Amino acid sequence: MAEYKEAPADATAAQKLLNWVDNRFPLSKLYNEHVGEYYAPKNFNFWYVFGSLALVVLVIQIVTGIFLVMHYKPDAELAFASVEYIMRDVPWGWLIRYMHSTGASAFFVVVYLHMFRGLLYGSYRKPRELVWIFGCAIFLCLMAEAFFGYLLPWGQMSYWGAQVIVNLFAAVPFVGPDLALLIRGDYVVSDATLNRFFSFHVIAIPLVLLGLVVAHIIALHEVGSNNPDGVEIKAKKDEKGRPLDGIPFHPYYTVHDIYALSVFLLLFSAVVFFAPEFGGYFLEYNNFIPADPLKTPAHIAPVWYFTPYYSMLRATTDVMVNVLVGLIAIGAILAVLKGGLSGKGKLAVIVGALVAAGLLKAFDAKFWGVVVMGGAVVIMFFLPWLDRSPAKSIRYRPDWHKYVYGFFVFGFLVLGYLGVKPPGVWGTPQVMGMAVDIAAVTSQILTLSYFAFFLLMPWWSRMGEFKPVPERVTFAAH
């Protein structure tokens, strides 16, 4: 049992109240450990504001979601009308709804930038592997939360988008049809599906998401924050045990984050008040039409933050599967001829290649599309063990590494753009008597490059001439 501390005789009423709480709950201890006496590197730059912004957007989504649930009806006959009621009749309902819809897109913008910063500065490297894994789990949860919430307005794109995505699960061998039926709760997307999605969106996933966010922050504060130099500030401490290159999170970075928050809220408010649909990317125009099971939209596509993965799904065709089989064969031949392997090693490579090729041809391309789409997210969990670079930060890696990261981001953005557009958006010229969809071929090449970025990382991350990493952080006062 902790020692009971008496407040000083001359303490103010507020100090006495705080002392009373501290004797029963570690309020001051928690504040000091995670804010007041949490020492962060003094060389943070603007890339380090997105974690705090993600937390702010999470609060916005929870608060606006609570008010929306007060008036929303999770019923296939009433859902669309209840959204219109919120927009037209509930006082300030339009603002709450637009804040929630804009917040969903803002969440992904902020999280994508937050993850990219981790990629740039090696924030997933030892000892922060668990921090990264919790972050990836948050991202996965966020995708599920957005997917389940996407159906709730019960508009045309909500309905048909959910129909397409749920049907993908039917491609899973053996259990696919039963799995799709379990998710839908019916043989088609219906009232049962809407109720299931509503339950997951409002209760189940937010609870898991909040738990993961808490675990992410606790894990981060246990090992300390990374910095643009990738130098561990805990290695150099003063006589009081404080990092020489660290400063208290409060007030230095609270002010830093409040400034960033002000800029973010200006942009967020500009979208909410002047362009909530954002040209049909944040709120698709088809979603202002009630769901009609008898009328399929001309082009069905998910919201923009899912489209890179949707592009990968569409890119996985029978032709691409054959290309993958060919690449496996070429890789196996090179490994056997040039790899310097022993007899058993060569046999293992040949057997492994035959098994991989057999599996690729055993199941149809639709199933492998689902695997590719899911694998594009799951592979990020393994990043701490794929990166073998001697330097954490991009600052001290070979200059050509920056072009590798740049191409990775460019490819991801192009995949996102192509996922929004219908097939054949860039034309289908005749090549050797066959119509070739340029956009589809581009998606296939970029999908392969996406996975190559990760799978070949153990090799390319060690290549090149690295710059010497300083013992302490580099910092210029400003």
CATH number of the domain bearing residue 37: 1.20.810.10
User: How far are the Cα atoms of 428, 430, 439, 441 from residue 433, in angstroms, in the given order?
Assistant: 12, 6, 18, 16
Is 70 exceeded by the pLDDT of residue 340?
A: no
8 Å CB contact between 79 and 152: yes
Q: What is the mean pLDDT of residues 53-69?
A: 97
Q: Which residues of 381-402 are buried (b: 16+ CB within 10 A; e: fewer)?
A: bbbbebbebebbbbbbbbeebe
Q: Are strands 434-435 and 246-248 parallel, antiparallel or unpaired?
A: unpaired
pLDDT at position 299 is 84
pLDDT at position 477 is 65
**Per-residue DSSP letters for 259-288?**
HHHHHHHHHHHHHHHH-TTTTTTSS-GGGG
Q: Are 292 and 307 members of one domain?
A: no
Q: Are 74 and 215 members of one domain?
A: yes
Q: Are 278 and 342 members of one domain?
A: no
- Long-range pairs for 213-216: beta carbons < 8 A, 24 or more residues apart: 213/55, 213/58, 213/138, 215/134, 216/131, 216/134, 216/135, 216/138
pLDDT at position 347 is 86
Q: Are 330 and 354 members of one domain?
A: yes
Q: Are 166 and 307 members of one domain?
A: no
What's the number of domains the chain is made of? 2
Residue with tokens 């937050």: 114
Is residue 420 in a domain? yes
478 marked as part of a ligand binding site: no
Domain boundary among 296, 329, 362: 296
8 Å CB contact between 401 and 464: yes
Burial class (CB in 10 A: 0-12, 13-18, 19+), 217: middle
Q: Are 97 and 117 members of one domain?
A: yes
Element housing 248 (H / E): strand 246-248
Is residue 36 in a domain? yes
Q: Are 117 and 262 members of one domain?
A: yes
For residue 248, report the phi and psi dihedrals to the nearest 5 degrees.
Answer: -60, 140
Q: Are 139 and 254 members of one domain?
A: yes
pLDDT at position 360 is 85
8 Å CB contact between 280 and 286: no
Is 90 exceeded by the pLDDT of residue 32?
A: no
Closest CA to 310 of 149, 146, 156: 146
DSSP-derived 3-state class of residue 41 = strand
Closest CA to 385 of 133, 176, 188: 133
8 Å CB contact between 381 and 329: no
CA angle, residues 374, 377, 378, in degrees to nearest 5: 80
Of 243-247, 359-363, 366-370, minimum mean pLDDT range = 359-363
DSSP class of residue 418? Answer: H
Alpha carbon dihedral 26, 27, 30, 34, in 10-degree steps, equals 180
114 marked as part of a ligand binding site: yes
Strand partners, 290: 155
Domain boundary among 296, 313, 334: 296
pLDDT over 90 percentage in the chain: 61
Strand partners, 248: 39
100 marked as part of a ligand binding site: yes
pLDDT at position 72 is 96
CA 452 – CA 222 distance, rounded (Å):
33
Q: Are 211 and 342 members of one domain?
A: no
Domain boundary among 263, 296, 329: 296
- Long-range pairs for 127-130: beta carbons < 8 A, 24 or more residues apart: 127/223, 128/219, 128/220, 128/223, 128/226, 128/384, 129/384, 129/385, 130/219
Is 90 exceeded by the pLDDT of residue 156?
A: yes
Length of the chain: 478
H and E: helices and strands count for the chain: 19, 4
Is 60 exceeded by the pLDDT of residue 1?
A: no
Q: Are 292 and 355 members of one domain?
A: no
CA 292 – CA 75 distance, rounded (Å):
15
Is residue 43 in a domain? yes
Q: What is the mean pLDDT of residues 451-477?
A: 89
Is 60 exceeded by the pLDDT of residue 27?
A: yes
Q: Are 42 and 147 members of one domain?
A: yes
Q: What is the mean pLDDT of residues 75-100?
A: 96
pLDDT at position 2 is 61
Is residue 445 in a domain? yes
Is residue 254 in a domain? yes
Residue type, 443: S
Is 70 exceeded by the pLDDT of residue 249?
A: yes
CA 165 – CA 464 distance, rounded (Å):
42
pLDDT at position 33 is 84
Residue with tokens 């981790």: 118
pLDDT at position 237 is 83
pLDDT at position 36 is 81
401 marked as part of a ligand binding site: no
Q: Is the dihedral of CA 65, 68, 73, 79 positive or negative?
A: negative
**Domain limits for position 377:** 301-467
Q: Residues with Cβ < 8 Å from 5, sequence gap 6 or more? A: 19, 22, 23
CA 411 – CA 419 distance, rounded (Å):
12
pLDDT at position 298 is 84
Q: What is the mean pLDDT of residues 381-399?
A: 94
Of 171-175, 182-186, 432-436, minimum mean pLDDT range = 432-436
Round the average pLDDT of the chain to a whole number and report it. 91
pLDDT tens digits along 269-328 = 999 999 999 998 899 999 999 999 889 888 888 899 999 999 999 999 888 888 888 888
Q: Are 272 and 336 members of one domain?
A: no
Is 70 exceeded by the pLDDT of residue 472?
A: yes
Is residue 16 in a domain? no
Q: Which residue has the higher pLDDT, 331 or 398?
A: 398
Is residue 220 in a domain? yes
Is residue 197 in a domain? yes
CA 364 – CA 167 distance, rounded (Å):
15
